[in-house]
Structure 1
Amino acid sequence: MAKNNKNLYDLLVDWRDDRARKENIPESKKYFIFPNSTLKNIAELGPKTAEELIKIKGIGSKKLLQYGNEILSITKDSIIEDFKQPEETMLFSEKRAENNVLSISQLNNRIKQVLNDSFNSGLWIHGELYRYELDVLKADARPYGQVYFELVEQDSATKERKATISAMIWGEERIRINEKLMSLTSGLVLKDGLHIKVKCNVDFYPPQGRVQIRITDIDPEYTIGKMALEKKLILEKLKKSGLLEKNKKIQIPLVPLKIGLITSVGSAAYNDFVDELKKSKYSFSVFVCDARMQGADLETEVRNSIYTLNKQDIDVIAIVRGGGSASDLMGFDKEGVAVAIAKSEKPVLTGIGHQIDRTIADEVSNQSFKTPTATAQFIVEKVHNFEIDYEEIFENILENQKQILINELERLKNISKQVKSATLMFTSKLEGDISQLNEKLKWNIKRIFDNSYRKLEELDRFINSKNPVNILKLGFGLVYGENNKIIKSIKNVIINTDIKVELRDGKLIGSVKSKDVL
C-alpha cells in the first residue's frame, strides 16, 4: 500500500473506531461499521464522489446513506456532497450550493454537524417508554438487534402528552441495560409505561431530516424512585379518600362456592387456580372474565371485569396471574385498578404471582396472596374450615345430647327411687287408711243395716196395718160388686144388684135393696 494510501487508511480506521465509540458499539463489533478490508479498498481507490464510493466492494446503499458523507469528507478534504436518489440507490450530488442557497441535504448535513458538536459527549434525559413492546418483537430479525421506540413526556396532572422524541437502542446495549435494571430491582426490564432516566447521543439522519436519540446507559435508581413515588402518592390518595381499607371491611362468606375469576383464560395462572379448586372436590361455580394481565390494556380490562362481576351472584372475586418481572406488574399499580377493587361490593382477593414486591392492588384488596394456587387454596380452606366447624358443631350437639340423655336418665333413676319410696310410703299410708276406712265402712254398713232392719220392721208393720186381711181381723169387711171389684163408694152401687161381703172368717152374698147416702 502506498504511503498516501496508508495515511488515508489510518484516518479511516481512526474514524471507524471513533464512530463505534460514539454509537456505543462494542470493540468486538466495530467491524460491523466497516471491516478493515473495506477500509483498505477505500484508501486505495480514494473515491471523491458517491458514484465512486458505492462501486467499492463492501459499500451498499445503506452504508452510503449512513456514512457516505463522513467517508468522502476524509477522502476529499472534507468536501460535503449532496445526496441524490437514482432509481435504486441514493447518491451524493456533486454540485455545490450557489449564491449561499443550500439544498435540503446540505441543510440537513449542517444540522447533523451542529448536533454532533453540541452533544458530542452525550446527555442524560428522562421520559416514559412508548411503543417499545411492539418493536422489540422485531429486534431478533435485525442485524444488530436494535429496537426503535419513543420517549414521551406527559403532563403530571392531565396525563396529556407534552413532547415526544424518537429513540433507538442497539441489541447489546438493550441486553446490558436490562441486566443492569434486573440486578438492582425485582426483575424490572424495559417496558412501555416505564419512566426512565437514560444517557443518550443525539443523532440526526439527513436523508429523512429526522432527529433520534440513541440510548447508551440507564440510571435504575431514578426509575425505582419514580415508581416508588408514584406508588406512594396513589396510596396516600386512596387512604385520604377512605378507599385503602374499604374492601378489607367486606366480610368473606363462610362458604364462598361462587367465584368470579379475572385472569387470562388458558394461562398457567388460570389452570393453576382452577385445578386447585377441582382437587378439593367441592362444588365450586366459577364465572370467568378474560382480561389482559400485563401491558397497556391491563388497567381498562381488569377494571371493567370487576364492574361486570359485581353484577353477578358471586361470593368473592379473585384476580390472578402467573409470575413475571416487576415491569409486568406495573399495571397493578395503576390508580384505576386500585379504585375499582376498593369500590367493589364483593370481597376481592389478589394472587398476582410475585414473591417480593406488593402492588397497590395487593394493598387495597381484601386479602392478597403470592400465587394463584395460594389464592385458590385459601378459598378451598375457607370452605373446608366451615365443613370442619360444622362437623365439630354436630359432634358437640351429639355429645351434648348424649350428656343430656345421661343426665336425664340419672334424673329419672332418682325420680324412680323417689317414686318407689313415695309409693311405699303412700301404699303403707293407704293400707292404714283402707284399714281405717274398712272399719268405718263396717260400722257404717252395720249401722245402715240396723237402720234398714228397723225401717223394714216399721214398714212391715205399716204394710201389715194396711193389709186387708189384718183390717178384716179388726172387724171390717170388703164389699165386692158384680165383677168382683171392691166397691169404694155407694155411688158405684146400683139398686137390686148382687154384692158380696168378705169378712174375717167368710163371705156373705146378698142383693142391694136401697141406698142411704151420707
Structure 2
Amino acid sequence: MKQNLTLYELNNLVRQSLELTMPDDYWVEAELSELREVRGHCYMELVEKDEYSNTPIAKASAKCWQNTWMFVRQHFERVTGRPMRPGMKVLLKVSANFHEAYGFSWIVSDVNPEFTMGDMARRRQEIIRQLKAEGVFELQKELSLPMFAQRVAVISSANSAGYGDFCHQLDSNEDGLWFAPRLFPATMQGEAVSASVINALNEINRRIDDFDVVVIIRGGGATSDLSGFDTLELAENVANFPLPIITGIGHERDQSILDLVAFRSVKTPTAAAALLIDHLTVVYDRVTGAGERLVAAVGHRMEVEQLRLRRLGEKLPIVFSLFRERQEAKLHRLFQTMTAAVATRLSHDRHRLELLERRLRPAATRRLEREEYRLRLLRQRAVALDPALLLKRGYSITTCDGRVVRSAAQLRKGDEIVTRLEKGSVKSIIK
C-alpha cells in the first residue's frame, strides 16, 4: 500500500516541481486591483479582465520585498510622475514562488514604468476622444469671462497655501480692484479628488447667480497627485458647467484633462489671480478711458453750444424786433377781420329775426284759434259725461271702500257698500 503524504510534503513537491519547470523570470501584463505596503514590503493583487465584458478572467497575488520595492517604487514614480495605485495597468517581471506554509505567489523583481505611461496616455486619449465625440470638449472655450468678473467661487483645499496665495494676490493688486472670493472646500489630491470637486461644483451651481467665474486651484503637491484630475466624470462636469472655469492645479510640465477642457488653464494659484486682475484691469482702463473721452466730448460740445448761444444772443434782439412787428401786423389784420365778421353776423341775425317775427304772428293766431275750438269740444264732452246727468235719468252708482263696484264678484261677505242716487245715498252690508 502507498504511503500517505503530509501536507507539508505535498507542498514541498509542488515547490520543487515549480523550481524545476519554471526557473526563469517572466514579464507579465496585468491590472492592479489591490496594493498595500506592510513593513516596507508591497503586496499586490493582480487581475486580468475580459476586453468586452470587463469580467475578471484571471487573478493572482504578487509580492515585492522591501529591498527590491524601495528601488522599484522610486524608479516608477520618477519616470511616470505618479505612484502605483489600484486600477493601473502594469508590466511586472515576476518569478514563481511556492512556500510550503503560505502557498503560491508571484515574486516581483522589476516594473516597467514605460508600459504604464503608455497605458495612462492611452486612457487620457480615450477620455479626450469620448469628450470630443460628446461635443463637450470645447464647450468652456465658447464662454466669455464677464467684464466685471469679481465674484469668484474658489474650489481648493481649505488649509492650502495656494488658496492663501490666491486671496493675497487678489487683495494686494496695485490698482486696488475689489474681488469677492468664496471658498468651496474640496480634496485636491488622492482618489477622492474627482468626487470632491464635483460636489463643490454642484454646490456652486445651486447658487449660480451669486458668482461670475469659478477657479479650481491646488497649491504645491507632488506631480503624482494629479491623477485625480484625469477622470471622465470630472471632465464632463467641468465642460458642461455654465460659468467659465479657470484652473491652476499643475506644474509647468504637466497638463491634466481638466486643464484641457477648462475655459482657461494656468499653472499656479497666483497665476489664476493674476489672470483675473489683468482682466479687470483691462476693463477698468477701458472704463476710465471711456470716461475721459466722454468728458472731453462733453466739454467740446459745451464749448460749441456756448458759442452758438452767444451768436443766437447777438441775433435775438433783431430777430425779436422783426418777430414783434410781424405779430403786431398779424394781430391788427386779425382784429379787422374779426370786427368785420362780427358786424356781418349781427346784420345777418337781425334780418333773420325780423323774418321770424313776421312769420310768427299769423302762425300764433291760427294756433290759438285751433286750441280754443278744441277746448270747446272737450268742455261739451265733459258735460255729457257728468255722473249727475246719469243719476237724474234714474241710474245709481255703487262704491265699496271708495272704489266703483262694476261686478258682484268684487264683493265679499261683510263688505259695506254705498249706493248713490240722484237725491241722497244708501249704505248696505253684504250677507
**TM-score, normalisation: structure 1:** 0.56
Given residue 251 of structure 2, which amino acid in structure 1 is its aligned partner? H
Q: Is residue 234–residue 258 contact of structure 2 (8 Å, CA) maintained in 1?
A: yes
Could you tell me which of 230, 234, 259 is aligned with 2:152? Answer: 259
What does the per-residue CA deviation read over 1:353-393, in whole Å, with 9 as the maximum and x for residues that have no partner? 22112211111111111112211222233333332222222
Q: Distance in 2 between matches of 1:356 and 1:247?
A: 23
In structure 1, distance between residues paired with 2:24 and 2:45: 22
Is it true that 1:125 corresponds to 2:18 in the alignment?
no
CA contact under 8 A between 1:189 and 1:326: conserved in structure 2? Answer: no
Task: Give matches, 1:330-409, under 5 Å.
Answer: 330-409=227-306
- 1:373–1:194 distance in 2 versus 1, CA, 3 Å: farther
Give the aligned partner of residue 96 of structure 2. Answer: 202
Question: Does structure 2 conserve the Cα–Cα contact (< 8 Å) formed by 1:318 and 1:350?
Answer: yes
Cα deviations across residues 450-494 of structure 1 (Å, max 9, x unaligned)? xxxxxxxxxxxxxxxxxxxxxxxxxxxxxxxxxxxxxxxxxxxxx
**In structure 1, what residue type is equivalent to 2:309?**
L
Q: What residue identity is the alignment partner of 1:320?
A: I
Q: Give CA deviations for 1:58-79 in whole Å, capped at 9, x if unaligned.
A: xxxxxxxxxxxxxxxxxxxxxx
From 276, 283, 290, give the equivalent of 2:169.
276
Q: Following TM superposition, by how much is the alpha carbon of 1:236 offset from its aligned partner in structure 2, in angstroms? A: 1.1
CA–CA separation in structure 2 for the residues paired with 1:154 and 1:354: 34
Measured in 2, the distance between the counterparts of 1:115 and 1:270 equals: 57
Q: Which amino acid is 2:247 matched to?
A: T
Say whether residues 1:116 and 2:10 are aligned partners: no
What is the aligned counterpart of 2:8 among 88, 93, 105? 105
Equivalence for 1:168? 63
The alpha-carbon distance between structure 1 residues 207 and 151, as it changes in their structure 2 partners (threshold 3 A), is same
Q: Does 1:220 align with 2:113?
A: yes
| Aligned AA (2:92) | V
Any conservation in 2 of the 1:178–1:189 contact (CA below 8 Å)?
Answer: yes
Cα distance 1:105–1:310, how it changes in 2: closer, same or farther (>3 A)?
same
2 CA distance for matches of 1:100 and 1:402?
118
Paired letter, 1:200: V
Q: What is the identity, as a one-letter code, of the residue corresponding to 1:275?
A: H
SS of match in other structure, 2:27: strand
The match for 2:44 is 149
Q: What is the total number of aligned residue pairs between the two structures?
A: 321
Q: Residues 221 and 262 of structure 1: is their aligned pair in 2 closer, same or farther, counting only changes over 3 Å?
A: same
> How far 1:156 moved relative to its partner?
5.4
Native 8 Å contact 1:152 1:164 kept in 2: yes
Partner of 2:202 in structure 1? 307
Q: Secondary structure at the match of 1:398?
A: helix
Cα pair 2:77 2:84 within 8 Å, conserved: no
Name the CA distance, whole Å, in 2 between partners of 1:408 and 1:308.
Answer: 57
Question: What amino acid is the match of 1:284?
Answer: F
Change (3 A) 1:229 1:396: same
Change (3 A) 1:403 1:102: farther
Any idea what the Cα deviations from partners look like across 1:294-332, whole Å, max 9, x if unmatched?
Answer: 222222222222222211132222222134444321121
In structure 2, the CA distance between the partners of 1:213 and 1:292, relative to structure 1 (3 Å rule), is farther
- C-alpha distance in 2, partners of 1:157/1:335? 19
The equivalent of 2:360 in structure 1 is none
Distance 1:164 1:268 in 2: 43
**DSSP-derived class of the 2:84 partner:** coil
1:415/1:352 CA distance change after superposition, 3 Å: same
Letter in 2 for 1:394: G
State the Cα distance separating 1:338 from its structure 2 match.
0.7
Counterparts of 1:299 and 1:159 in 2: how far apart (Å)?
22
Tell me, which stretches of 5 or more residues in structure 2 are unaligned?
330-431
Aligned to 1:111, what secondary structure does the other structure show? helix
Q: In the alignment, is the contact (CA less than 8 A) between 1:146 and 1:169 conserved in 2?
A: yes
The structure-2 alpha-carbon separation of the partners of 1:130 and 1:296, relative to structure 1 and needing over 3 Å to count, comes to farther
The letter for the 1-side match of 2:184 is C
Match for residue 296 of structure 1? 191
Retained in 2: the 8 A contact 1:265–1:290? yes
* Deviation string, structure 1 residues 244-269 (Cα, Å, up to 9, x no partner): 01122223222222222222221223
The aligned counterpart of 1:474 is: none
Counterparts of residues 416-431 of structure 1 (less than 5 Å): 416=313
> How much does 1:129 deviate?
3.4
State the secondary structure of the residue aligned to 2:163: helix
Q: Hey, what does 1:248 align to over in structure 2?
A: 141
Tell me how far apart the structure 2 counterparts of residues 391 and 254 of structure 1 sit (CA, whole Å): 14
1:190 aligns to 2:84 (yes or no): yes
Structure 2 counterpart of 1:198, which letter?
Answer: L
Q: Look up the equivalent residue of 1:195 and give its one-letter code.
A: K
Deviates most, 166-175 or 331-340: 166-175
In 1, distance between residues paired with 2:294 and 2:67? Answer: 72
- Specify whether residues 403 and 192 from structure 1 end up closer, same or farther in structure 2 by C-alpha distance, changes over 3 A only: farther
Structure 1 range deviating more: 155-164 or 276-285: 155-164
What is the DSSP-based 3-state SS (H/G/I as helix, E as strand, rest coil) of the residue aligned with 1:216?
strand
Larger radius of gyration: 1
* Percent identity over paired residues: 30
Task: State the shift of 1:105 in Å.
Answer: 1.7
Closer/same/farther in 2, CA of residues 198 and 214 from structure 1, 3 Å limit:
same
Q: 1:198 to 1:417 in 2, by over 3 A?
A: farther
Cα separation, partners in 2 of 1:203 and 1:403, compared to 1, 3 Å: farther
Maintained 8 Å contact 2:152/2:179: yes
User: Residues 105-136 of structure 1, C-alpha deviation per residue, up to 9 Å, x if partnerless?
Assistant: 2222222233333432211112333443x53x
Structure 1 SS opposite 2:297: helix
Distance (Å, rounded) in 1 between the aligned partners of 2:132 and 2:213: 23
- Inter-CA distance 294–183: structure 2 relative to 1 (3 Å threshold): closer
